[in-house]
Amino acid sequence: MDILNKVKNDRETEKQLGWEGTFAEYLELVKENPTIAQTAHSRVYNMIKSAGVTEKDNNKMYEFFGSAIFGLESAIQSLVEEYFHPAARRLDVRKRILLLMGPVSGGKSTIVSLLKRGLEQYSRTDEGAVYAIKGCPMHEDPLHLIPQHLREDFYHECGIRIEGSLSPLNTMRLEKEYGGRVEDVKIQRIFFSEDKRVGIGTFSPSDPKSQDIADLTGSIDFSTIAEFGSESDPRAYRFDGELNKANRGMMEFQEILKSDEKFLWHLLSLTQEGNFKAGRFALISADEMIIAHTNESEYKSFIANKKNEALHSRMIVMPIPYNLKVSEEERIYKKMIQESDIADVHVAPHALRAAAIFSILTRLKESKKQGIDVVKKMRLYDGESVEGYNQIDMEDLLNEYTDEGMAGIDPRYVINRISSTIIRKEIPSINALDVLRSLKEGLHQHPSISKDDLETYLNYISIARKEYDEIAKKEVQKAFVYSYEESAKTLMDNYLDNVEAYCNQNKLRDPLTGEEMNPDEKLMRSIEEQIGISENAKKGFREEILIRLSAYARKGKRFDYQSHERLREAIQKKLFADLKDVVKITTSSKTPNESQLKKINEVIARLIDEHGYNSVSANELLRYVGSLLNR
């Protein structure tokens, strides 16, 4: 099988990447490439940066998170620039626990998982290579072998700062195995692996009465005490706690605020001083990033307890809200469906968008700005143009609330309801109405929705339905327009000829008779009225179009109906308005004649070929739009 060959090649690649040598040889590598000696925080930051950074709408987009985190560009930017970057530069934030705080199914665990998988891959690259003292259960930094009093000299020679002390076990090994000759100590390249417990640790709280602190810091191996003679002999200690194994990489503390206090106090010394206490030894140095996550209610309870002040002061809290963009929410649902067993089910176009509209509405807060309701706010957040509002209004909306997106319907609920719809309907196709109906039915059984919220959410279902109605009508009307682009181009060219004559106070020549005639005011107004251009505003709008036309001509660019957003909208609405009666008659006829049947079949074919429907969902869409137009 091909997969076995890939496994074999992967094994061979890891062997080729492997390296083993003495400490003296390792120092030569460090002199050639000082990034080998980078700290855990620096490694994480460089890993994120190496995946690529782009700028969009004054936000930095970190490609490392782009494949799995959608709509949280601002939160991710804050995370990277306010924690990872300064921590990588050895600023004080690296001495803090990174606490991701947000609602359920908001992306906290996904962020942590991406960092873990990323570190595993990054440690297999030249830039992310990690080296450790061979045989050390904590894969200790080889530079700890340099005595404290010589580290200043090493810094002046190589420009690398060394933090931390040699562990008790390696101190003993240095004397007993190498006779104190640090240059002979064996060093090897290691590869991070959560499964093999190398450089990545995970701690999950359980029953405080049964959970042992040894899960974090390791424990005495009583079977070896007779051999080594003392509990304080480091060879009689298992350095296998999560803090030991996460050294040089990262440690995930799941649901940190549910942990017993005795586990949390160990983090105080680790974060502030870079060491922790284990067994009957001096403090053990560890270089690792501590990342934890919790929800908002638990966090509020935690900070309300005065006993937690010391730990709270050692945390950097990063809010991870829900996504607030409809288009990005769609991507979340598509990803979740692709990763499930329902990936082969046909989901009609716009079904997920209808669900996304509902979800986003539940997460938004009413704006204090006059004239902006939640629907307009939703559209602005998604990058749509809303007449009368601009980018400044958008920024004001974003700054209105600091906790927007911290509550509402979560993506898991939506996917659960979609799954329920598929199972109940028992056909390999679902549409927007199926999804909205299932979302509505599920609200009554949702355990965390109050009566007030239920009424609001049912209203949002109705809004999502109205939004979908408009989308469905446009979809069918567009499919009914044969050679849609050509029809739009013809109408636009006719409009532009008349606008140019109107603005220049010229006459037009009839292409058939050759007679001169005045610009067609009726035609121009029939298009302009589609987007609410008043009689008083028509002159300004036409002059704006002419200026844009001239600008394109000067640059040698072709002006088409996509070149002016509002004109494009007006052209589309005009075409659709002219076609509405044809659509209504054809879709609602119970016994269509031959001509109507041919038209229906053409539309269905176009919906399937060009719009992503299958035969079932295309027929359902036509019947639904027919009923809408006949109301």
Pairing of strands 289-294, 53-56: unpaired
Q: What pLDDT, on a 0 to 100 scale, did the predictor assign at position 212?
A: 78
pTM across the whole model: 0.83
Tens digit of each residue's pLDDT (9 = 90 or more) over 305-349: 887 887 888 889 999 999 999 999 999 999 988 887 777 889 999
- Whole-Å CA distances, 254 to 100, 103, 251, 290: 10, 14, 10, 11
Length of the chain: 631
Instruction: Round the average pLDDT of the chain to a whole number and report it.
Output: 88
3-state secondary structure 313-374: CCEEEEECCCCCCHHHHHHHHHHHHHCCCCCCCEECCCHHHHHHHHHHHHHCCCCCCCCCCH
Partners of 275 in the beta sheet?
Answer: 285
Q: How confident is the model at residue 482 (pLDDT cuts 50, 70, 90)?
A: low
Q: What pLDDT, on a 0 to 100 scale, did the predictor assign at position 389?
A: 80
Q: Which amino acid is at 628?
A: L
Q: How confident is the model at residue 225 (pLDDT cuts 50, 70, 90)?
A: confident
Give the pLDDT mean for 28-51.
Answer: 94
The larger pLDDT score, comparing residue 515 to residue 24, is at 24
Q: How confident is the model at residue 1 (pLDDT cuts 50, 70, 90)?
A: low
Q: How confident is the model at residue 479 (pLDDT cuts 50, 70, 90)?
A: confident
Answer for the pair 333, 418: CB distance below 8 angstroms, yes or no: yes
Tens digit of each residue's pLDDT (9 = 90 or more) over 412-470: 999 988 888 877 766 678 899 999 999 999 998 887 788 888 999 999 999 999 999 99
Q: How confident is the model at residue 303 (pLDDT cuts 50, 70, 90)?
A: confident
* 527: pLDDT strictly greater than 80: yes
At 275, is the secondary structure helix, strand, or coil?
strand
The larger pLDDT score, comparing residue 418 to residue 588, is at 418
In order, the DSSP letters of 78-137 are: HHIIIIIHHHHTT-GGGGSEEEEE--TTSSHHHHHHHHHHHHHHHTTSSTT-EEEETT-T
Q: What pLDDT, on a 0 to 100 scale, did the predictor assign at position 331?
A: 93
The larger pLDDT score, comparing residue 16 to residue 425, is at 16
Pairing of strands 97-101, 289-294: parallel
What percentage of the chain exceeds 90 in pLDDT? 49
Residue found by looking up tokens 């640090």 in the block = 182
Q: Which amino acid is at 507?
A: K
Lowest mean pLDDT among 196-200, 210-214, 404-408, 604-608: 210-214
Of the ranges 183-187, 302-306, 332-336, which is most confident? Answer: 183-187
